[in-house]
Structure 1
Amino acid sequence: MTDRVTLADRIEDLLPQTQCTKCGYAGCRPYAEAVASGEAEYNQCPPGGVQGIARLAALLGKNVVALNPANGEERARPVAVIDETLCIGCTLCMQACPVDAIVGAPKLMHTVVAELCTGCDLCVPPCPVDCIEMVPVTGERTGWDAWNEAQADAARLRHDRRAARLARERQAAEARAAARRAQAAAGSAESAETAKSAAQAPTDDEAAKKRAIIQAALERARQKKEALAAQGVAPKNIANVSAEVQAQIDAAEARRQRLGAAADANGGPPGADAPPPPADDDR
């Protein structure tokens, strides 16, 4: 009994490799595997025509039958031709071509390399400006009479290389997306940690701002006291101040003087942990 994998390989070797998908499958290899498994019939390849069906029938030990009309009709081999005056450079035809027979760039004119075109028709439907025409180039010759083994082998090689390139591009895109997700997750974790740290302790900027506010309050109190002294205005209500309150006033004054001295010595504001003293005229 013929091994199924080997049978699929042998069937694929008998297909024209136009990769046109008219058989109902994504390419010649998937169709070959479907025929080998009995999922598909061997008369579903219009580019191979009657001669192609005869080849497959001989391999499979079956009778030659007519091409299934649901899959298309045998015809002269066409080549895609782009009307370059209408082409808008959308690249949709390039993306559809299974054998990389179309060259161009976004927003620039595209053209078909006739020697590489398999006549698959796949570039026609996606064109938004209908600037692609399939032009017969083999006269009365159809099927394998309009094609040969060397052309089939070259088309299969280009198709396989394109598939490998697209797979690499997908893998690279997936890797970039995964890296972006990982970076975003790491950034979120770092932001959460930073927010937590900020909530737990003031930043250097906040501490400096607090020290500046304290120093400014001390300076205003000092200037006000000096101004009052220059006017000969004494503090109010000192006659009735109790000893306990006077002790608090003296401690605050001593603290203010120490903070002022420390600021002068350090060339900056005093420590942020010490509260400002009460204003002298509020005693």
Structure 2
Amino acid sequence: MPSLSGLAGLAAQINAALPQTQCTRCGYPDCAAYAGAIAEGTAAINQCPPGGAGGIARLAQITGNDVQPLNTAHGLEAPRTTVFIDEAWCIGCTLCIKACPTDAIVGSNKWMHTVMEQYCTGCELCVPVCPVDCIQIESASGALTGWAAWSVADAAQARSRYERRKDRLQWEALTEDNRGASPDADAGCEEMGPEADEAYVPKNPLATAPALQDAGAAARRAAIAAALERARQRRAFARKR
């Protein structure tokens, strides 16, 4: 039995070989949890549909296990997808924002939301939580599947955004605890939802907030504006059909 440090090291290697879509199709809450289970020998290496056959081969090389076909109980290898929100139907409920593991959806309560496609991993976790079915799925990779439809850089970006989101949620939970312990501590402060990280925009999605006054603010606002414009173009195209 490997030592705890050995298991941690193996889990880190396995996690680095996963696509970091954080889709939970493997049966675990995130890629890191699945990697830990593989390292412990409690999960097979063939439970990640986004990684596909190429991902299984990568995991087999790391673990020394035999290559196996993808376990279809967890899904099928398919082209990578992205989602977009039909602004005509979005009610601003924020449920999709809360479900998104990489903070790829921006908006605020009762205002239209939109997807920054460059950060969308195709996890599709936002789709089932939408109460008005305004989130649509489209292919982002054509016929390419698995790692042919993804890249190491994509995985690194997704992992970074996911970890930052976890840190933010932990900070918000601590803030809520402190607020409960000292009711006057945040008197007069507006509560900021799950979009409070770099993807957060107050009320008007294109408004300038003090928290965005840094070197990356203009780029983030441009990304949001571009995502909004793509959503409008899609809606206009759909109306013409």
TM-score band, normalised by shorter chain? 0.7 to 0.9
Paired AA for residue 149 in structure 1: V
Tell me the distance in 2 between the aligned counterparts of 1:39 and 1:169: 33
Tell me the distance in 2 between the aligned counterparts of 1:144 and 1:175: 43
Q: Which is richer in helix?
A: 1
State whether structure 2 residue 45 is matched by structure 1 residue 31.
Answer: no
Q: Equivalent residues in 2 for 1:1-16 (5 A)?
A: 3-16=6-19
State whether structure 2 residue 112 is matched by structure 1 residue 109.
Answer: yes
Structure 1 runs (4+) deviating above 2 angstroms are: none
Tell me the distance in 2 between the aligned counterparts of 1:134 and 1:31: 25
Structure number with the bigger relative contact order (C-alpha 8 A, sep ≥ 6) is: 2
Paired AA for residue 125 in structure 2: L
Tell me the distance in 2 between the aligned counterparts of 1:171 and 1:63: 44
Larger Rg: 1
The TM-score, its normalising length taken from structure 2, stands at 0.73
What fraction of aligned residue pairs are identical, expressed as a percent? 53
- What is the DSSP-based 3-state SS (H/G/I as helix, E as strand, rest coil) of the residue aligned with 1:115? helix
CA RMSD of superposed structures (Å): 1.3
TM-superposed deviation, 1:137: 1.6
Q: List alignment gaps of at least 5 residues for structure 2.
A: 184-241
Tell me the distance in 1 between the aligned counterparts of 2:119 and 2:27: 23
The TM-score, its normalising length taken from structure 1, stands at 0.63
Aligned to 1:67: 70
How many residues align structurally? 181
Q: Equivalent residues in 2 for 1:1-283 (5 A)?
A: 3-180=6-183
Aligned to 2:221: none
Q: List alignment gaps of at least 5 residues for structure 1.
A: 181-283
TM-superposed deviation, 1:87: 0.5
- What is the DSSP-based 3-state SS (H/G/I as helix, E as strand, rest coil) of the residue aligned with 2:137? strand
Paired AA for residue 95 in structure 1: K
TM-superposed deviation, 1:105: 1.1
Tell me the distance in 2 between the aligned counterparts of 1:137 and 1:149: 16
Tell me the distance in 2 between the aligned counterparts of 1:172 and 1:74: 41
